Structure 1
Amino acid sequence: MVVRAVVFDIGGVLEVTGPMEFESRWEAALGLPAGTFDAKLTDIWQAGAVGTVTEAEVHAAMRDRVGLTDEQVEAVMADMWREYLGTPNTELIEYARTLRPAFRTGILSNSFVGAREREQAAYGLTDLVDDCVYSHEVGLSKPDPALWALVCERMGVAPGDLLFIDDVPRLVDSARAYGMNAILFESTAQTIAGIEVWARS
């Protein structure tokens, strides 16, 4: 089987990220009961992931529902984005750059409204690949089969011609069930070696 396109997840793959702990930190700092942010904003976080709210609406919900000041909202969101962006996986980013033009390359990310602009400013990810598919821009999240179909369409290949890299086992399993080839990211060296097996065969 010949791979014609290689598609990367971002968080935990192209970006080195840890657990999102900004909510618990700020709940403690502001004297709020544990779980306040989730209790009051779960629908906002979910809506932000599929682009049905704007960043301004996210900020307004934090003010109106949690009772934060504008300054507190800005500080909480700055902390959120710091965790969200993590640090660049420089070795994998540089390797991904070498795949073009022999292969079409892409990004497929379960994202949050505002992510494209910040990831581009920080790491230049949209320049790295041929196309970026962000959940908040297309209104679909992994593992929705409609999103697998969309990324294949955007890459211009059949599922069996696409290799997808993600760090979440259930998403890798879902991609494979759809008919795509997939690698579970466990380390940068392991992932590059796996891509080489598929891409250079």
Structure 2
Amino acid sequence: MKAVVFDIGGVLVDWQPHLAWVEELGSEEAAHAFIERTGFRDRNARGDNGERFADMAQELDDAEDQRLFAAYVGLYSRTVETAIHGTWAVLDRLKAQGTPVHAITNWSAETWPEGLKAQPRLGEVFETLVVSGQEGIMKPDPRIFHLLCKRAGLAPADCIFIDDAPYNVEGARAVGMDGIHFTTPQALEAALVERGLL
């Protein structure tokens, strides 16, 4: 039987990092400006690979920016409050029919527990879950796909991997998994029907 391996952010949960700072900075525009001037997205990727936000905050020149950046972990649950309900409906159908469901997520080890406060089902629904920040390996590194397979007792050819980032889908295909580039829940459902999974 084929197993389905989900990405989480952008597939099951809508991640909007600026929401961490909107309340304190007073507007979405100010929060987006903070993200830009602090190089947040590159630093966040380093967090997904195992680095600590407090350490990265010290690299910033402005003391107030340092404080705000270091506060991100404690504010994180605000960024993932919205579930992508159509994808959850697909996941629930897969589980109901007995299809094994796993996940690989690029996500910081520090922010993962905070994310679970907003989306507790993420900690319960997967048979095998690999969080990049806990492993120090990120998608699309081949090692993270092989790690999932080892822990789940699967061969790559047994897996259908779903991700909203095309380069991660290509990474999965490179190790022998089938890959689906996620755009909408409806398109995902159609792709799984086409493969005989739904």
Q: 1:72 to 1:179 in 2, by over 3 A?
A: closer
Partner of 2:114: 118
Partner of 2:92: 97
SS across alignment from 2:124: helix
* 1:37-48 map, 5 Å: 37-38=38-39, 45-48=44-47
Q: Percent same amino acid at aligned positions?
A: 26
| Cα deviation digits, residues 86-132 of structure 1 (max 9, x gap) | 51012211321232362221111111233321232212212121121
SS across alignment from 1:141: coil
Q: 1:76 to 1:126 in 2, by over 3 A?
A: closer
Higher mean Cα deviation, 74-83 or 9-18?
74-83
RMSD: 3.4
Is the Cα–Cα contact under 8 Å of residues 96 and 128 in structure 1 kept in the other structure?
no
Q: 1:125 to 1:187 in 2, by over 3 A?
A: same
- Unaligned 5+ residue runs, structure 1? none
C-alpha distance in 1, partners of 2:140/2:93? 28
| Cα deviation digits, residues 2-44 of structure 1 (max 9, x gap) | 51x11111111001345x5579986x859x9995412xx7885
- 2:156 aligned to which of 159, 171, 180: 159
Partner of 2:12: 14
TM-score, normalising length from structure 1? 0.76
Q: 1:23 to 1:93 in 2, by over 3 A?
A: closer
TM-score, normalising length from structure 2? 0.77
- Unaligned 5+ residue runs, structure 2? none
| Cα deviation digits, residues 126-183 of structure 1 (max 9, x gap) | 2121121111011100110111111111221100100100011121122112110111
SS across alignment from 2:5: strand
**Number of positions where the alignment pairs a residue of Structure 1 with one of Structure 2:** 189
Q: 1:33 to 1:14 in 2, by over 3 A?
A: closer
SS across alignment from 1:164: strand
**Counterpart residue identity of residue 91, structure 1:** G
C-alpha distance in 1, partners of 2:94/2:141? 27
SS across alignment from 1:7: strand
C-alpha distance in 1, partners of 2:34/2:125? 42
| Cα deviation digits, residues 32-75 of structure 1 (max 9, x gap) | 9995412xx7885344212243xxxx236536743028974576
C-alpha distance in 1, partners of 2:157/2:128? 18
C-alpha distance in 2, partners of 1:153/1:104? 15
**Counterpart residue identity of residue 172, structure 1:** V
* 1:38-187 map, 5 Å: 38=39, 45-53=44-52, 58-59=53-54, 61-62=56-57, 65=60, 66-68=62-64, 72=68, 82-83=78-79, 85=80, 87-100=82-95, 102-123=98-119, 124-187=121-184
